[in-house]
Amino acid sequence: MVVSTFETQPAAESSHRIELAPNCSLTPESARVFVGGLAVITFGIATFFALQGLWPILPFAGLEIGLLWWSVRASMRAGKRRELILITDDAVVIERQGVTLPSSTVFARHWATVKLRDPPAAQHPSRLVIESHGRACEVGRFLTEEERLGLARKLRELVGKSSESPALGVRSQ
């Protein structure tokens, strides 16, 4: 997963911007080559057997390639997800873009808390949430456990505890 941090300082206030995106190494062009190559091989073998009298293999080959195309397409769409966390002197803004319609959640920074919740069962990932006044927003669902822990540390440093807002001076990383 790609976790990139960009720090900016507008004229009136300082702010921190953290952009989260899944690591999707498959490009649309390589996805077409992958599915197309497997389709050629699959239909070549299916045609050989169909000519030998085993014609029922053709519909199953078509079904197999159709399911492969559907799963690659779903993976490519999931790779377009983005989460932007903007922390200013007054607010914590979480914007989501991707598979669904864009959404935005705003918390007052002074009352916001960052919590890393334990997994509900073994072999499940932890949950990183920002919450305030009974509202919660989970961030970084697609991150690895190590990346989620690092993001939790960074967010705790920037947001602080409830009713504590550390200064957001420009820091070099």
53 contacts: CB under 8 Å, gap ≥ 6: none
Query: Crossing angle of helices 57-78/28-51, nearest 10°?
Result: 170
**Fold of the CATH domain 2-23+83-159:** PH-domain like (2.30.29)
- Digits of tens for pLDDT over the chain (173 positions)? 445 444 434 434 578 899 998 888 889 999 999 999 999 999 999 999 999 999 999 999 999 999 999 999 998 988 888 899 999 888 899 998 877 778 888 998 888 889 888 887 878 888 899 988 889 899 988 888 889 999 999 998 888 766 566 666 554 44
Question: Are 81 and 96 spatial neighbours (Cβ–Cβ below 8 Å)?
Answer: yes
Q: What share of the chain is helix, strand, coil (3-state, %, to 5)?
A: 35, 30, 35
102, two tokens: 């864009």
- φ, ψ dihedrals at 109, nearest 5°: -60, -35
Report domain extents, the chain.
2-23+83-159, 28-78
